[in-house]
């Protein structure tokens, strides 16, 4: 991992921070899309290195956070069935549904297992032919290839006991929705490097042109983020609105063609509900009908009631960059990682968790 050291180097960070100061002549509001970037920013204290005229607001790029409550309740209902082994990533198991979370279902006797990859879930399905294995797959474009591969493998293996409970979201329609909103205050974006590693960045070119905003594809290490900020501010200061690629060591314009082909084979764009934000047209992936046998929602038709979010939680505003986590009255009091009210307090990509875990020093609850 030594190659990462150069992207965590103090001298490089200081030099970039100075250059950002030099080029900034007025106030700008930038949004980093990805929750992974939010965590780097708060964890390494990048906001302390920026001039006060630059405001970073945190975007909706936390897949766990935007997964609709009904979907989590559906996963909880499935996990409670004795014939089902429910698998998912660690974060997803702790997110509160309307009445409980998956870890509590596990403690109550449900077979809930944490995996690092959906392919591990396929393996579990092969090893447990008499049980139904469901992988609760959430995520942006980044995790779509692995989920698509899981379905593809299950299809090849003719497994009749594997299915995917799918809640996939897409970045470009979300940026479009944010920019089209009357309440928008974001002037430039750091796009998520990992998403673009898969998808490339061609989709962002019409968005930058339509809304006249700079979009810089950015990596995840402190030096990447400072460089992404510098590139965005330079564009803003000179009146440009282009798509630039800071993360060129990983991202190509066209992305990863093999991964994109696999996604297209299994999924098609569909309307998607975002927790805290609402329905955004064509902003998610749905499993194509020819693979519907692997669609957990088709295999297990369950009625899940639509439920109300806690009125205390301002996750929607946080995810749209309208408010910061510590501006929430429940932050750090009624809502903590041990007893979360909203998903952003749970996820390792959630903005509220980042503020709570790493950044509470100068951010007392307001």
CB closer to other proteins, 17 vs 147:
17
Distance CA 203, CA 299 (A): 33
Instruction: List the alpha helices (DSSP H) in 157-275.
Output: 171-180, 193-199, 204-211, 222-237, 257-266
CB closer to other proteins, 294 vs 356:
356
CB closer to other proteins, 127 vs 289:
127
Tell me how far, at minimum, the Cβ of 259 lies from other proteins, in Å: 19
The Cα angle at residue 128 between residues 123 and 133, in degrees rounded to 5: 70
Please return the burial class of 81, using the count of CB atoms within 10 Å of its CB with bins 0-12, 13-18 and 19+.
middle
- The helix-helix angle for 144-156 and 118-127 (nearest 10°) equals 20
Q: Where along the sequence are the contacts to other proteins (CB under 8 A)?
A: 1-2, 4, 8-10, 13-14, 42-49, 90, 94, 103-104, 106-108, 116, 222-223, 336-339, 348, 356-361
In Å, how far are 176, 213, 256, 265 from 209, measured between CA atoms?
11, 7, 24, 30
Distance CA 287, CA 271 (A): 12
Strands 188-192 and 28-34: parallel
Tell me how far, at minimum, the Cβ of 40 lies from other proteins, in Å: 10
Tell me how far, at minimum, the Cβ of 104 lies from other proteins, in Å: 6
Tell me how far, at minimum, the Cβ of 87 lies from other proteins, in Å: 15
CB closer to other proteins, 152 vs 358:
358
Closest CA to 57 of 232, 210, 205: 232
CB closer to other proteins, 280 vs 346:
346
**Largest CA-CA distance found in the chain, in angstroms, rounded:** 66
Strands 84-88 and 132-139: parallel
Residue 83 CB contacts under 8 Å (≥ 6 apart), including other chains? 131, 132
Tell me how far, at minimum, the Cβ of 318 lies from other proteins, in Å: 19
Contact predicate 41/56, CB 8 Å: yes
Tell me how far, at minimum, the Cβ of 125 lies from other proteins, in Å: 18
CB closer to other proteins, 305 vs 361:
361
Please return the burial class of 328, using the count of CB atoms within 10 Å of its CB with bins 0-12, 13-18 and 19+.
buried
CB closer to other proteins, 214 vs 228:
228
Tell me how far, at minimum, the Cβ of 255 lies from other proteins, in Å: 22
Tell me how far, at minimum, the Cβ of 57 lies from other proteins, in Å: 18
Neighbour tally for 292: CB within 10 Å:
13
CB closer to other proteins, 14 vs 210:
14
């Amino acid at each position: 991992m030594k190659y990462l050291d150069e992207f965590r180097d103090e001298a490089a960070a200081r030099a970039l921070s100075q250059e950002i100061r030099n080029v900034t002549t007025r106030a700008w509001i930038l949004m980093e899309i990805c929750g992974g970037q939010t965590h780097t920013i708060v964890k390494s204290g990048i906001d302390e290195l920026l001039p006060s005229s630059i405001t970073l607001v945190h975007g909706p790029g936390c897949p766990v956070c935007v997964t609709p409550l009904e979907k989590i309740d559906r996963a909880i209902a499935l996990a409670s069935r004795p014939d089902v082994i429910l698998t998912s990533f660690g974060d997803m198991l702790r997110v509160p549904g309307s009445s409980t979370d998956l870890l509590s279902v596990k403690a109550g006797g449900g077979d809930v297992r944490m995996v690092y990859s959906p392919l591990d879930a396929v393996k579990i399905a092969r090893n447990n032919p008499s049980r139904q294995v469901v992988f609760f797959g959430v995520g942006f474009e980044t995790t779509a290839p692995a989920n698509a591969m899981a379905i593809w493998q299950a299809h090849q293996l003719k497994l009749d006991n594997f299915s995917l409970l799918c809640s996939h979201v897409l970045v470009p329609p979300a940026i479009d929705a944010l920019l089209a909103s009357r309440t928008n205050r974001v002037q430039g974006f750091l796009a998520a490097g990992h998403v673009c590693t898969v998808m490339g960045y061609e989709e962002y070119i019409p968005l930058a042109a339509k809304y006249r905003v700079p979009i810089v594809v950015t990596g995840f290490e402190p030096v990447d983020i400072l460089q992404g900020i510098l590139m965005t501010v330079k564009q803003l200061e000179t009146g440009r609105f282009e798509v630039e690629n800071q993360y060129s060591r990983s991202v190509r314009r066209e992305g990863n063609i093999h991964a994109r082909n696999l996604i297209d084979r299994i999924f098609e764009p569909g309307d998607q509900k975002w927790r805290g934000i609402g329905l955004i047209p064509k902003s998610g992936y749905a499993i194509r009908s020819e693979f519907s046998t692997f669609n957990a929602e088709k295999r297990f038709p369950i009625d899940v009631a639509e439920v109300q979010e806690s009125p205390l939680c301002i996750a929607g505003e946080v995810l749209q960059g309208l408010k910061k986590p510590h501006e929430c009255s429940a932050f750090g009091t009624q809502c903590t990682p041990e007893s979360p009210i909203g998903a952003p307090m749970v996820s390792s990509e959630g903005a509220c968790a980042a503020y709570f875990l790493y950044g509470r020093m100068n951010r007392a609850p307001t």
